Amino acid sequence: MLLIDGETVPDPNDNCQICKCDVGSVKCHSVSCPAVSCTNPIQDGCCPSCAGCDYRGNRYKNYTVIDDADRCRTCVCQSGNVKCVANPCPPVTCEHPHFGQCCDECTNCLYKGVLYRDGQKFPDPN
């Protein structure tokens, strides 16, 4: 390939390099990538991009819903950032709930105004 002095071309063997003819010799350097403002950019070609998210080893498109590993949250890829919110918890019906994996849980059962232990068998009060 014949280059004119000052002409720049991509390196034919590495598209992340730019080569320039400089007074009869070719000098190559890495492509300059613009800074990205997202926290989970994808590597798109030579430069990172906020067109999706790389999150926990997986690539997601923008606005994809991501199930979080702990199942207590739902996450969404938004312009290279992963935003997570806690999944809603059902209301508890006991007086003394304990915290389970994600939400408060009852170990007792309230049935027709009577409190029973979890797993306890009892006759129907009617």
pLDDT at 1: 62
Q: Does residue 109 lie in a domain region? A: yes
3-state secondary structure of 41: coil
pLDDT at 33: 87
Structure tokens at 90: 């059902």
Distance CA 29, CA 72 (A): 46
Question: Taking residues 85-97, what's their average pLDDT?
Answer: 85
Number of domains in the chain: 3
| pLDDT above 70 (res 73) | yes
Distance CA 87, CA 101 (A): 12
Distance CA 60, CA 86 (A): 20
Q: Are residues 82 and 47 in the same domain?
A: yes
Q: Does residue 105 lie in a domain region? A: yes
Structure tokens at 46: 């030579």
H/E stretch holding 46: none
Identify which of 2-11, 39-48, 77-86, 92-101 has the greatest average pLDDT: 77-86
Per the structure, the complete domain to which residue 48 belongs is given by 42-86
Question: Taking residues 52-75, what's their average pLDDT?
Answer: 87
With b for 16 or more beta-carbon neighbours within 10 A and e for fewer, the 102-122 pattern comes to eeeebeeeeeeeeeeeeeeee
Q: Does residue 65 lie in a domain region? A: yes
> What pTM does this model have?
0.53
